[in-house]
Amino acid sequence: MELTLSYISLSVFLLLLIAFIFLSQKSHSHRNLPPSPPSLPIIGHLHLLKQPLHRYFYKLSQALGPIFSLRFGSQLVVVISSPSGTEECFTKNDIVLANHPRFTIGKYLGYNYTTVVNSPYGDHWRNLRRIMSLEILSTNRLNAFLSIRRDEVRQLLYRLYQKSSTDFAKVEMKSKLSGLTFNITMRMIAGKRYYGNNLENSAEAEEFRELMREVFLYVGASNPAEFLPVLRWIDYKGFEKNLIKIHERMDALLQGLIEEHRRDRSKKTLIDHLLSLQESQPDYYRDTIIRGLISVMILAGTDTFAITLEWAVSLLVNHPQVLKKARTELDAHVGQDRLIEEQDISKLPYLQAIISETFRLSPAAPMLIPHMSSDDCIIGGFDVPRDTILLVNAWAIHRDPKLWDDPINFKPERFEGGEVEGYKLMPFGFGRRACPGVGLAQRVVGLALGSLIQCFEWERVSEDLVDLTEGKGATMPKAEPLEAMCKARDIMKKVVLDDRNHA
Ligand code: HEM
């Protein structure tokens, strides 16, 4: 009897769902929506999606044009693959498109849509952006943390030197670069290192690393239940249940860090600074807001650097002549007597060109962050109704042969002329919701990459080129972790010796 009743309620639910989808599709039918491939009832185009999405969408844009639409279940999605479409999104439609979709991940890891990444456009978001730019990522604050970045880069150089002081040695770079960026971020936040040698508390570090592995697995996972209510209803693959558990662990860890700093206020970390703001404005700087700010720094500001650096080194070992030219520039401007410093980067145009070219070919966020329309708008002459998800395929624009000469090849020289005009390069997005971490990202990537080039010779592990296949994830990782051969240059011996003398 009970079974029959639940069967009937399931059937009624499904019928209502189909009717709802049918009606919502009907209500869009009189509009001039962007072109779309044939779709199936209920699931729309979900069955067509192939990873990596940016490549699949690039193919679709070649058949359908630079603005096309898809349905993920009943959700309308518009994909933009042209500079003019992008410009329209982030100029005249910037406010209408200044929301992000409310995915389940934002409910838990985004503190119920209250962090700067997840919160809707409005006063709360504006306040958080203000805190990010004035209190966390301001030039003064970044300068105050310079010694952390310098020290972590040095520790990476030492680790490589230990293996390669006399001859070429094979090194696995992915984990080292990821350790570098996590340590930089966590030292700024809480004064703690969780990766590499000489860890203060190895059990705590292990727990942190394990949690981060799981968090990033979830951040990068695709979840069809987002678009198919039936799957959400049955919590498909336990996605939500697991996310709740991960959120609880992450939340406890972040609160633990806050409590530690509340007990001992002697350190000058970001948590200490936020706690002093809490004293003067307790209503605004509540612990949840502080936890949200820290979690955004960890989620948005670690993997992105590490992935960019891994792509940059991979591209360099595949292009020895570019590496040689970069080393010559470094030797001419910085020399072999001292290590490169952040303030040298502005005088190293070729190094900057290599970084821009890496961002062009391998943007860490190939489709930016999904945006959501809060009202009807028009892009490229097409109607984009309210509540449409909008994706900008930056990866496709970065490789468009109409915009770039020889677009698939790594040629830093194309950036030697200076800044790029218009909407053809967008590793950090545009408009109100563009990345606030650009300054920090450029400092870390510039210093780390410059140091690796200055201090080591780099080669491939075999005659074969490094495989540049892209893997799955929210950011665009390499499918295969980078392994390369490196050998310390003379400057490393000098640096190690100098540091020993000063120790
Ligand atoms: C190589 C490094 C980085 C890259 C390539 C990158 C890229 C991006 C992109 C493409 C967006 C989305 C823009 C849009 O959808 O319009 C974004 C947003 C964001 N990024 Fe970054 N990012 C990097 C580093 C950082 C760092 C270091 C931080 C902070 C510590 C950070 C914090 C954020 C935040 C908070 C947002 C959301 C802004 C909002 O919604 O208002 N990012 N980033």
Closest residue (by CA) to atom 33 of ligand 1? 435
Backbone angles phi and psi of 42, in degrees to 5: 65, -60
**H/E element, 101:** none
Q: Atom 3 (ligand 1): residue with closest C-alpha?
A: 304
Do residues 80 and 63 touch, judged by C-beta distance below 8 A? no
Contact between 185 and 254 (Cβ < 8 Å): no
Return the closest-CA partner of residue 166 out of 423, 484, 468, 457. 457
What is the pTM for the complete model shown? Answer: 0.93
**Atom 42 (ligand 1): residue with closest C-alpha?**
437
- Going residue by residue through the chain (503 aa), what tens digit of pLDDT does each one get? 454 545 555 555 555 555 555 545 545 557 999 999 999 999 999 999 998 999 999 999 999 999 999 999 999 999 999 999 999 999 999 999 999 999 999 999 999 999 999 999 999 999 999 999 999 999 999 999 999 999 999 999 999 999 999 999 999 999 999 999 999 999 999 999 999 887 888 898 999 999 998 988 888 777 888 999 888 898 888 899 999 999 999 999 999 999 999 999 889 999 999 999 999 999 999 999 999 999 999 999 899 999 999 999 999 999 999 999 999 999 999 999 999 999 999 999 999 999 999 999 999 999 999 999 999 999 999 999 999 999 999 999 999 999 999 999 999 999 998 778 899 999 999 999 999 999 999 999 999 999 999 999 999 999 999 999 999 877 899 999 999 999 999 999 887 777 766 65
Distance (angstroms) between ligand 1 centre and the Cα of 117 equals: 8
Minimum-distance ligand 1 atom for the alpha carbon of 128: 41
- 393, 81 in Cβ contact below 8 A? yes
Give per-residue pLDDT as tens, 124-177. Answer: 999 999 999 999 999 999 999 999 999 999 999 999 999 999 999 999 999 999
121, 435, 442, 476: residue to mutate for ligand 1 pocket, most atoms within 8 A of CB: 435
- CB of 296 closer than 6 A to ligand 1? yes
Cα 229 to averaged position of ligand 1 atoms, centre (Å): 29
The verdict on whether residue 435 carries a ligand-binding annotation is: yes
Ligand 1 midpoint to CA 129 (Å): 12
Question: Within 10 A of 364 (CB to CB), how many other CB atoms are there?
Answer: 24
**pLDDT, tens only, 409-449:** 999 999 998 778 899 999 999 999 999 999 999 999 999 99
CA of 428 to the centre of ligand 1 (A): 6
Kindly report the protein residue whose alpha carbon is nearest to atom 11 of ligand 1: 435
Between CA 392 and CA 291 the distance in angstroms is 30
Q: Is the CB of 117 under 6 A from ligand 1?
A: yes
Residue nearest to atom 27 of ligand 1 (CA): 301
Query: Best substitution site from 134, 188, 356, 428 to test ligand 1's pocket, by max atoms within 8 Å of Cβ?
Result: 428
Distance 96 CA to ligand 1 centre (A): 19
Question: Closest ligand 1 atom, CA of 90?
Answer: 16
Ligand 1 proximity of 358 Cβ (cutoff 6 Å) = no
Q: Give residue 14 CA to ligand 1 midpoint distance, Å.
A: 39
